[in-house]
Structure 1
Amino acid sequence: MEVCDGCSGINGRPVDVQRQEHLTLIGVAECNGTLVLEHYRCDKCRAVIARQFTGDSDERIWSVIETAH
């Protein structure tokens, strides 16, 4: 299954781009009290999207990591 327009539009964008309304936070990861990763599920296409806050600037992006089957 393909991702919706909202998910494809945010995929690869910097983390400072605000999340879309149709994304529900499903998990967070912290390291030594610092937020490093958030996982969201899209209410429209059911894709799982990660928002990574650490690493080089090209790694601090939104990424579609799983699509619904």
Structure 2
Amino acid sequence: MEVCDGCSDIDRLPVDVQRQENLTLIGVAECNGTLVLEHYRCDKCRAVLARQFTGDAGERIWSVIETAH
């Protein structure tokens, strides 16, 4: 299944880009009390997105990591 326009548009963008509509937070990962990763499910297309807060600048991005089947 294809991702919706909202997920497609945010894929690979920096983590400071905000997307509030149609996303439900489903998981958070911390390391030593520091937020490192958030997982979201899109309410529209059911894709799973990751928002990574650590690593080099090119790694601190939104990523579509799973699409609905």
Q: TM-score, normalised by structure 2?
A: 0.98
Runs of 4+ in 1 over 4 A off after TM superposition: none
- Compare the two structures and name the one with the higher helix fraction: 2
Aligned match of 2:34 = 34
Q: TM-score, normalised by structure 1?
A: 0.98
- The unaligned stretches of length 5 or more in structure 2 are none
Aligned match of 2:64 = 64
Counterparts of 2:9 and 2:20 in 1: how far apart (Å)? 10
Counterparts of 2:63 and 2:13 in 1: how far apart (Å)? 8
- The unaligned stretches of length 5 or more in structure 1 are none
Percent identity, aligned pairs only, is 88
Counterparts of 2:25 and 2:19 in 1: how far apart (Å)? 10
Kindly report the root-mean-square deviation, in angstroms, between the aligned alpha carbons of the 2 structures.
0.5
